[in-house]
A and B are shown apart, each in its own frame.
Chain A
Amino acid sequence: MIDPLLLFDVILGLAIVSLAVTVLVVRDRFAMIVLVIVFGLMSALAWVRLAAPDVALAEAAIGTGLTGALLLATWRQVRTEPERWPALPRGVMVINMGLCALVLAGLVGAFLATPLGTPGLGVAVADNLADSGVEHPVTAVLLNFRAYDTLMEVVVLLVAVIAVWMIDRGVSQAPQPTLGPELGDLPRGFARLVLPAITVIGAYLLWVGTSAPGGAFQGGAVLAAVGILLLLTQRYQPQPSHRPLARGVFVLGVAGFAAVALLVAGGGRVPFEYPADHAKTLILLIEGLVTLSIAATLAALFHGREPEAISTQGGRS
């Protein structure tokens, strides 16, 4: 008798691989984006099956929801261009295939070299969980044991939004394309109905991260959805005068994170060695600031270029 869940896992794995192949093969851009979104949902399901709900939440919220929104917003701007890709030179294709084969060989090697059934670092994390300030092991790892890596991840997001604003400033002097057609009354009512709920859910995900799956990235992604809904329903229209505030919120996470690290390093500790009495407070403080930054950054990435005065014709404000 086969375990029915094993059958489910095999089907799920095959579906993910075939979705990935289809994304690469299909020639229609819109179909491609839809397939990427489905691929993300299936991956989130796979993470659930691997008993990693934190990763599943992040994959569903950022990898699927927000990436899907970013891709669709991009598609809106490029869809009038002909659906033809210039042919790649054969040399580039061969080099790409070689690099992919190297990555695959590395992964297979790493998998084969790892002895089966070892507990990994899970035991070490469980042993030191009491000193971390939080009860959820994933948050303990992300915000305490390897907080430096997480700081770098937040820096990556900051660099991304800086790059998008810089590139858009350079390449295009054309008037900003609108985000979409006038959506009408129903989506506005929908926004009024769900926006308070989404805001509470985002804050809840942040708070619950100390003791259960959740945290800054998941909460930030949900709050970014608030920003996207506000932009789509035109309840919030970015103005040039909002730029300083936006920049401040973008750097809030990195600045707060680094400031805490440096401050705790003052009293003869190493950076990120939080004093045991205040560990939970400090972690929540960092996570709160990072959540705000992530939400603002992702919503700004969806909006695209930095806000400019719409009334001026062609000229920059």
Chain B
Amino acid sequence: MSIELLALVLIAAGAAFFVVGTIGLLRFPDTLCRLHALTKADGLGLGLTCLGVALLVGSVGEMLRILLIWGLVAVSSAVSGHLIAGHVLRSNAPVRGR
């Protein structure tokens, strides 16, 4: 019971990070700021959600698979963020403070 409650809290916290990140994506002025909001939300939100789900599954194998999914998404999210930021810097898109 307490484990399920803990998982619920973790997943809810993860969802909250996604909501905050989405608000940032919609409200922030330029691509780099939006990227900042999105990558933070993505990293923490997904991490917390995966942690919560991992607590709920029964077997060690499934836990390891969730861990693998989290690792792959985290790495690809970081690399895509880097690629988009590099593209913004090379292009003439408006960036605050340039």
* Interface assignment of B93: CB less than 8 Å from any CB of chain A: no
Residue B95 interfacial (CB < 8 Å)? no
Q: Does B27 contact A (CB under 8 A)?
A: no
The SS class assigned to the A binding surface is helix
Contacts of A186 in B (CB 8 A): 79, 82-83
With a cutoff of 8 Å between Cβ atoms, the chain A residues found around residue B82 in the complex are 186
Tell me whether A193 and B83 are in contact (CB under 8 A). Answer: no
Assess whether A187 is in contact with B83, with CB atoms less than 8 Å apart: yes
Q: How far is the CA of A193 from the CA of B76 in the complex (A)?
A: 10
A34 nearest CB across to chain B (Å):
13
Q: Is A197 an interface residue (CB 8 A)?
A: yes
Q: Does A95 contact B (CB under 8 A)?
A: no
Q: CA A190 – CA B72 in complex, angstroms?
A: 10
Bound together, the chains give a CA A49 to CA B72 distance in angstroms of 24
Extra 13 A-B pairs, beta carbons < 8 Å, given A183-B83, A187-B79: A184-B86, A186-B79, A186-B82, A186-B83, A187-B83, A190-B75, A190-B79, A193-B75, A194-B72, A194-B75, A194-B76, A197-B68, A197-B72
Are B68 and A190 touching (Cβ within 8 A)?
no
A190: chain B residues within 8 A (beta carbon): 75-76, 79
Report the nearest A residue to B83, measured CB to CB: A187
* B contact residues, range: under 10
A sample of 16 inter-chain contacts (CB < 8 A) reads A183-B83, A184-B86, A186-B79, A186-B82, A186-B83, A187-B79, A187-B83, A190-B75, A190-B76, A190-B79, A193-B75, A194-B72, A194-B75, A194-B76, A197-B68, A197-B72
Per the 8 Å Cβ criterion, residues 196-239 of A in contact with B are 197
| Chain B hits for A187, CB < 8 A | 79, 83
A181 CA / B32 CA spacing, docked (Å): 20
Give B70 Cβ to nearest chain A Cβ, in Å: 13
Rounded to whole Å, the gap between the CB of A184 and the closest CB of chain B is 7
Name A155-194 residues within 8 Å CB distance of B: 183-184, 186-187, 190, 193-194
A94-127 near B? 1/0 per residue, CB < 8 Å = 0000000000000000000000000000000000
Residues 6-57 of B at the A interface (beta carbon under 8 Å):
none
Q: Which chain A residues border B86 with CB–CB below 8 Å?
A: 184
Closest 4 interchain pairs by CB?
A190-B79, A186-B82, A186-B79, A187-B79
Nearest chain A CB to B81 CB, angstrom units = 10
Contact string against A for B residues 71-94, beta-carbon threshold 8 Å, 1 for contact and 0 otherwise: 010011001001100100000000
The residues of B that contact A183 with a CB separation of less than 8 Å are: 83
What is the bound-complex CA distance between A183 and B83, given in angstroms?
8
CA gap between A194 and B82 in the complex, in Å: 16
A175 to chain B, nearest CB (A): 23
CA distance A184 to B90 in the complex (A): 13
Question: A159 CB to closest chain B CB, in angstroms?
Answer: 32
Q: In the complex the two chains form, what is the Cα distance from A57 to B75 in whole Å?
A: 21
A187 to B82, CA, bound (A): 9
Mask: chain A, 253-276; 1 = CB below 8 Å from B; 0 = not: 000000000000000000000000
